[in-house]
Structure 1
Amino acid sequence: MEIFQRSYAGTLESSDLLVEVVPAPEGSIEIEITSSVEKQFEPAIRQTVMSTLDELGVGSVRLSVNDKGALDCVIRARVQAAVMRAAKGADCHQIVWGAI
């Protein structure tokens, strides 16, 4: 899935996160994570973000996460929403929703 524009999903409320997605050079995936639980859960947050991007077929993106203690299911949902907004709905019909 190609990223066309900057987009956001989520909030800065407790148990949520704010995800920002920006187009990046071809083949470049950059993830910046800021979290209230970063020391303990940064690797798990990064893995959840990476697996979600992989499931969506994103090959190039600059993604920023500002986490306030969100669960994995919330992280996945926010990353999916931000990516789909940034892709302007392109390729969304190819997603196998049952597999996500």
Structure 2
Amino acid sequence: MQVTKESVAGTVESSDVMVYVAPSGDGVADDLTSSVGKQFDAQIRATVDDVLKQLGVDAVALRLDDRGALDCVLRARLKAALLRATDEPVDWGKVL
């Protein structure tokens, strides 16, 4: 999947995450801010990497403002932002 435009998903409420996505010419660039980062930074990054791999994204600029979102919430918000940022048709079997 190729990211062609900017998009956003989520909120900055407690137990949620705000995901900002933008096109990037050189690989994956991520900026993670998290209220639980000291404890869960590695798990958050692993989840982000897993979603990017699942959707076939290899060039994107990400900014995540995490407020203690569960793994399932992070996955849903990231997928929503990435799908909004592409002009390609969605392969729902791959997404779900």
Q: Same fold (TM over 0.5)?
A: yes
Q: 2:91 aligns to what SS in structure 1?
A: helix
Q: Deviations over 1:22-76 (max 9, x none)?
A: 10014x1111110001111111101001100100010100111000000000000
Quote the residue 1:66 is aligned against.
65
Gaps of 5+ in 2: none
Q: Equivalent residues in 2 for 1:20-99 (5 A)?
A: 20-26=20-26, 28-88=27-87, 90-93=88-91, 95-97=93-95
SS at match of 1:92: coil
**Structure 1 unaligned blocks of 5 or more:** none
Distance 1:40 1:5, change over 3 A: same
Q: What is residue 16 of structure 1 aligned with on the other side?
A: 16
Counterpart Cα distance in 1 of 2:63 and 2:37: 14
Number of matched pairs: 96
- Counterpart amino acid of residue 33 in structure 1: L
Runs of 4+ with deviation above 6 angstroms? none
Q: Is the 8 A contact 1:30 1:62 kept in 2?
A: yes
Change (3 A) 1:40 1:4: same
Q: RMSD across aligned C-alpha pairs, in angstroms?
A: 1.3
